Each structure stands twice: as structure tokens, then as C-alpha cells.
Structure 1
Amino acid sequence: MNGSISCCPGVTKFLLVVLRLAIGWHFLYEGLHKLESQGTPQAWSAEGYLRGATGPFADFFHKLADDKAPIDFDQHALLQRWRDYVERFGQHFQLDDTQRKAAQDELDALRRKAEDEFFHEPQFRGILEQWEQDRQKQQAKQFLSSAEAARLPANEKVLSERVAELTQRLKKQLEALLSDEQQSRGPISPAKRIDRINLAVMWGLVAIGGCLMLGLFSRLACLGAAGMLALFYLSMPPLPGLPGAVEGNAHYLYVSKNLIEMIAALALATTGSGRWAGLDALVRACITRPLFGAGRKKAA
């Protein structure tokens, strides 16, 4: 024994590189999948996830989704949000009269669809009424049973996701009205905080995953991955009695897959896996050493 932590350092390095690639692929694919969904009616949004947050930090995550406005699935309030978006869309892309009329027709079609498939649809109507009752009890600081406490964020998540699907449908239909010249104006700047959060999460996943896959700025990427995973964990911690303790057929208590992956990312941040197999070796050879002399052996 020579005091080495590993008797097979080569194998250890190989497995750490594989672990880095696995976490990187997980992040990269998640980010790309969410980005690709933005042009579809099932566009991903963090809103439902944030609204469904539980645990000690639930209020913090709820405020991120609320955008300083109360949660409201009222039919008139939702229609007003869509009208406001159509107005902003028309101003940004300078729609002509024909396009504005077509945009109004799309808004009317969405209103009818929302009435048939959301507000008056038996399943969603029941969820909405149940959510309103539980929400009123919560706001009145009345006692909520454990079933009601778990049901409230779950119903809120379902409703938020359905509203997001309808909203994405409107956006896609409006974008189809644009000419090539109008499309060159670029997308509308996000008006809501949740839109900016969505962009940050999606591109953050892609950037972190890409850096881990390439072995570029690996330690920073590992810390970024650990930070995101910590937020995911804290939004729904698997604590006793909370919905986050059950995910599908899996049951957690204190330790979840997000926590395990976070610890793995932190462990990787203490290693030089990017130099062993990645672009960090090139950065070290071409930039770090010439500029700062890092890694040079001191003369005897």
C-alpha cells in the first residue's frame, strides 16, 4: 500500500469521466427537448412545476410563478391575458388590418376551444371547482387535511399546464400569419417573469450539459448543475407527509434522485475530469499555462 486513495487510478478516472458525460447528456437532452417543445401545443413551462412546489421553500417558488399577481384561472381574467398578448403581438410585428382581423379570429376560436375543452369540460371543471374550494380555505387560513394539502398543488399544476397548452396554441397560430419580413423582427421580448425563467432554465440546461459533454469549464459546469439540481430538490423535497415524497411508483424519504445527482456533480467539481478527457486540457495548455504559468514545475 502506498497510501493512494485508489488502487486503480486509471479506472477511477475513466469512471469519473463517464459520470461527467452521463450527467452532461442528461442536462443537454432535457434542455433540447424543452426547447423543441416550444413550437408545439405541449410547450414546456416551469409554471406548473413552480406552482406545485411544496415544503419549507414553497412560498419562494410560488412567488416566482405568480409574477406578483394572484393565481387566477377565472375565465374572464384568462381571456384578458390572451387579448393583451394579441395586442402586444400586433404592435411588435406591425400587423396590417387583414392580419389583425385574422388574429382576432384566432382569439375567438381559442375562446371557444377554451370554453369547450377547459371551462365547461367535466373533468377540468371538476378540478377547477375543487381547486377553488381548497384555495379559498387556504387563503382563509382554515385547516386543510393532508389530502387537501396534497391535492391543491397537484390540481394547480394540472390547470396551469392546460392553460399553457392553450396559450401556446394561440402563439403558434399567430406566428403563422407573419410574413418573412415580419418574422425578421425577432420574437416578442418576454413580458412575464415566468417566460424569462423558462428561457433561463432551458438554455441553462443546454449550456451546462454541453460544457459537461465537451469537458469545457467542467468545474464551473458541475457547480452550475449542482445549483440547478438543488433548486429542483428544494422545490419538492421528499419530506414526510409531502407530495414530493411520492413520484409515480417511486417513494423517497429525504433522499431523491435529484439530491444524488447533485452530490455526484459536486464530487466531479473537485476533480480534473475535463483535463483527463475534454477541452479543459486544451484550455490549460493554450491559455492557462502561457498566461499564468499554472501547472509548471518549479525549478529545483
Structure 2
Amino acid sequence: MRLVNDWKRISLAAVILIVLLRLSIGWQFLYEGLWKYDQLKGPNPWSAEGYLKAAQGPFRDHFRNMTGDPDDLGWFDFDTVNNRWTRWRDTFVAHYGLNEKQVATLDQLLTGPKDYRVSLPQLPPKVAELDRFVRDELRSGPKLSYDAARKQLVLDASTPLKPDETTLLLAASDLKRNEQGELVAKENAPEGALNDVSRAWYLAIETLDSQASKLPYRSKLLAQLKGDPDKVGVIAKADQRYAPVMGTERSDGKTVEMIKYGEIQEYKDMLAAYKAAEKKAKTDFELAHLEATWAKIQAKRTGLAGPIKALEKSLKDDATKMLTREQLGRGPAPREVTPLTKASDMAMWSLLILGPLLLVGLCTRLAAVAGAAMLLSFYLVVPPWPGVPQPPGPEHSFIVNKNLIEVIALLAIAFMPTGSWFGLDGIFRWLFRRGKAPATK
């Protein structure tokens, strides 16, 4: 009975402070949600990826899996990234209404031309039989040909010139560049080597080499995910003509040699070893070792996925540069719907909805409970519990952190009529009671 009487005598100061607490949390929610929403309009939209992937503790797998690709393995698969780029290209074209010229420019950025062409009135004597020169001198390396009808030197885009091939082609002109960068005849060149035909050939080869060196983005992606032996490794099958040197692996009954062990496979093996050790780790030493191993894995992941992510960002930046002012006014192209965008949007819209409800005191109890549930999920991403590694930062907590304190505060608000004290809940309650007919005896 004493407790009930004390509750009825709650002071005005306590009422004001509790209402201010509700308003403060509501404002924090609203501002955070507005900031995230505003970031969606920029080139680097906000995402919950970093927070979710850093999850630790007993719910670690649940939160990390919300990203759809917790270990960034999709970034190491050429087809996955390439298909995403194709979907992005179609969305980009439709959203900004690109004209034919812009579409052609975008496709050239992505895929590049089928071949590179440069004007050339005629071939110099040493390469008059261009097919033979390519076959014998260049060992059939580049697909280089001469279009006599259009008077153009043509290089197939699938075979960009290698440095040694460029050197041999330039040497066929008997010319070189001096220290001032001027074209001059070589010391042992025949008389009259410095002529218009040789000069045109030298400049044509330089132009082709420059054009072909600017690889389209798909080719750059292919080079990183399928052509870089440091990343993907080198595998060869033993046969009668070739016997690899390094240790063998058995695959389908055939001998397969791992000539070079790629970093991507090394990263996958590190992940598998970590997951196996995680299930067995019990002691403080094992947990500390596990934490150190995880840091190494994340460093490896960043080093491998970083260049691919940077490549994608560069592609989108280059594509944006071709847009007119009117097209830019349409805002950013819609994001592809993925598990990560769903998780990010759910957090953002929760903040944008619950914040105003708490501020104006509408459905206050429900908003407070929902806000407490949302913050509890944030708390569980990296709970400050014994044995759970904590992210670096100025905050040092044990069991209780800022998120949990706000959870408790919101639950307290939910059990008090703060919306009736100051808010729309009070107005609606007054109107509802006023509209009731007086009871008859």
C-alpha cells in the first residue's frame, strides 16, 4: 500500500525528467535515421555491413549471415561479380535514360571494343607480310592484322600487346626515340629509314599499345580473379610431356599438381581452420589465440576483397562522370535488393519510424518496447560478455554498455504513461473520454 501511495505522489520533476528522457532517445533515433537516409543519396550509401560482419558472441553467425556474404567469398568469384555488374548496368541505363552514345561509352567501359584500330596508310617493308611477321617474330602472339580497304592497323582486344611484342613491332621501323623524345633512325638503320612510312608505323604501334593497355573493367576483373597466379594459384595435370614438380593431390583418380598455392584458397583454408578451432576453444589461452587468428583472417579478407571492391567503385565513378546535370538530378540509381540492403533498410526505417513516435508521444508504449527490442539486437551483435572479443574503441564495458542502458530506459518509459503526460497520446485520451456519454443511473 505504501508503494502505491508513493507512486501516486510522483513529483513533477520526475515527470519532466522522464519525458525529457523519452524525447532525448526519440531525437537520437530520428537524427541517426535521417543521417543514414541522407547517405543513400550519395555515391557511397550507408550500409550495416561493417557492423554486422564484426559480430561476435553466441549470435555471431546469425548477424553475420544477415549480410548474405559474411566472409566476402562472393567477391572472389568472377561470375558472381560479373553478373552483378550486368544487373547494375541495366539499372543504370534505365534510371538515367542514357542515350545511344552514353550506352556505347558505358559498354566500352565495361567490356571494351572488339578490336583497336589506328589509321595507317601502308605497312613498312619489314612487316609487309604482316601475318608471317606475327607468326614467326611474335610467335603468333597478338591477333594483329591490316585492313587494306580502310587502311587501318587492327589489334584484336582479346590479345593486348605484351612489352616484348611491342618492342619487336617498334623495332621493325628501324626508329627509336632519343632523350628528347624525338623519333630518330637507329645507328645501324639503312639510309632513308626515317621516312613517313616508318614514322606512321611507329606511331601506330604506340597508339595501339596505349589503347590496349586501358583494359575494360571486365578484363581487369578477369585478370584479378582468374589470371593472377598469386591470388588464384596455378594447377597443372601431369601427362607424358609434362611432369609438375610440387606435391600432388588426388582428384577423380587423376594426379593433379598444385604448382602455386593461391591466396584465395589460403584464405578459405584459414576460415575453415578457424571455424573448427572455434568449436573446441574453451580456455582463455585458446580464446585469445582464436581472437588473434580472426584478426589475421580479417586482414587477409580486406587485402583480397579490397582491390575488387575498389574496382567496382571506380567503375561506378567513371560511369557517373558521363552523366549530364539533368541526369544527375534524378538522384542515385536504385540499389539492388540483397539480404544486406534489407538488413540495412530495416535498421534505418526502424529509427525513422520509432524516433518521431517517441518525440510526439504517439503509441508511446508500443514505440518504446519496439525501440528496446531494436537496441537489444544491437547489443547482441557484440555483447560485452566474458570471452567475447570487443571491437577497438574508447568504450570499455562489462555486461552493461550504452545500448543496454537505453534498453532499460525504454522499458521503463513503456511502463509509464509519458505519452499522456506530454504527447499525442494524452490528447487522444482526452478526446476519447470527452466523447463518451455520461453514465446514467
The question of a shared fold, defined as TM-score above 0.5 by the shorter chain, is answered with: yes
Which residue identity does 1:44 align to in structure 2? W
Structure 1 segment 22-33 matched on structure 2, within 5 A = 22-33=24-35
Cα offset, 1:168, TM superposition: 6.4
Distance in 2 of aligned mates of 1:227 and 1:107: 44
Matched, 1:87 2:121: no
Partner in structure 2 of residue 269 of structure 1: 414
CA distance change for structure 1 residues 20 and 185 in 2, over 3 Å: closer, same or farther?
Answer: closer
Q: Distance in 1 between matches of 2:100 and 2:397?
A: 56
- Residue in structure 1 matching 2:423, options 263, 278, 287: 278
CA distance change for structure 1 residues 257 and 7 in 2, over 3 Å: closer, same or farther? same
What's the counterpart of residue 21 of structure 2? 19
Does 1:34 pair with 2:168?
no
**For the residues of structure 2 that align with 1:185 and 1:249, how far apart are their CA atoms?**
37
Cα deviations by residue, 1:247-273 (Å, 9 ceiling, x for unpaired) = 412222221111111111111111111
Structure ID, larger Rg: 2
User: Where does residue 143 of structure 1 map in the other structure?
Assistant: 277
Instruction: Say if 1:25 and 1:213, in contact at 8 Å, map to a contact too.
Output: yes
- For residues 426 and 439 of structure 2, the distance between their equivalents in structure 1, rounded to whole angstroms, comes to 20
C-alpha deviation, 1:87, in angstroms: 2.6
Distance in 1, Cα, partners of 2:71 & 2:309: 17
| Alpha-carbon distance change, 36 to 106 in structure 1, aligned in 2, over 3 angstroms | farther
Larger deviation, residues 174-183 vs 254-263 = 174-183
Secondary structure at 2:362's aligned position in 1? coil
Q: Which amino acid aligns with 2:20?
A: V
1:100 aligned onto 2:103: yes
TM-score (normalised: structure 1): 0.74
In structure 1, the gaps of 5 or more residues are: 120-124
Give 1:122's aligned residue: none
- Tell me the equivalent position of 1:72: 74
Alignment of 1:122-201 (within 5 A): 133=266, 135-140=268-273, 141-143=275-277, 145-146=289-290, 147-150=292-295, 152=297, 174=319, 177=323, 188=334, 190-201=336-347
In structure 2, the residue matched to 1:237 is 383
Counterpart of 2:370 in structure 1 is 224
Q: Which amino acid aligns with 1:143?
A: A
CA 1:104–1:52 in structure 2 vs 1: closer, same or farther (change >3 Å)? farther
Q: Using the alignment, how far apart are the partners of 2:28 and 2:216 within structure 1? A: 36
- Matches of 1:158 and 1:263, distance apart in 2: 40
Which stretch shows the higher mean deviation, 155-164 or 30-39?
Answer: 155-164
The letter for the 2-side match of 1:249 is P
* 8 Å CA contact 1:215, 1:273 repeated in 2: yes
Whole-angstrom distance in 2 between the partners of 1:257 and 1:170? 40
TM-superposed deviation, 1:81: 2.6
Residues 185 and 11 (structure 1), Cα distance of their counterparts in 2 relative to 1, 3 Å cut: closer
Which structure carries more strand by proportion?
Answer: 2
Change over 3 Å in CA distance of 1:178–1:280 after alignment to 2 = farther
1:258 equivalent among 403, 406, 411: 403
Greater relative contact order (Cα < 8 A, sep 6+): 1
Name the CA distance, whole Å, in 2 between partners of 1:227 and 1:255.
Answer: 16
Summarize deviations over 1:181-214 as a string: whole Å, max 9, x none: 8977995364212222222221221111111112
TM-score (norm 2): 0.53
| 1:230 and 1:259 in contact (8 A); partners too | yes
- State the one-letter code of the partner of 1:99: Q
Task: Report the Cα distance in structure 2 between the residues aligned to 1:15 and 1:276, rounded to whole angstroms.
Answer: 11
> What CA RMSD, in Å, does the superposition of the two structures yield over aligned residues?
4.2
Say whether the 8 Å CA contact 1:79–1:111 is kept in structure 2. no
Q: What is the number of equivalent residue pairs in this alignment?
A: 284
In structure 2, the gaps of 5 or more residues are 112-214, 226-230, 232-261, 279-288
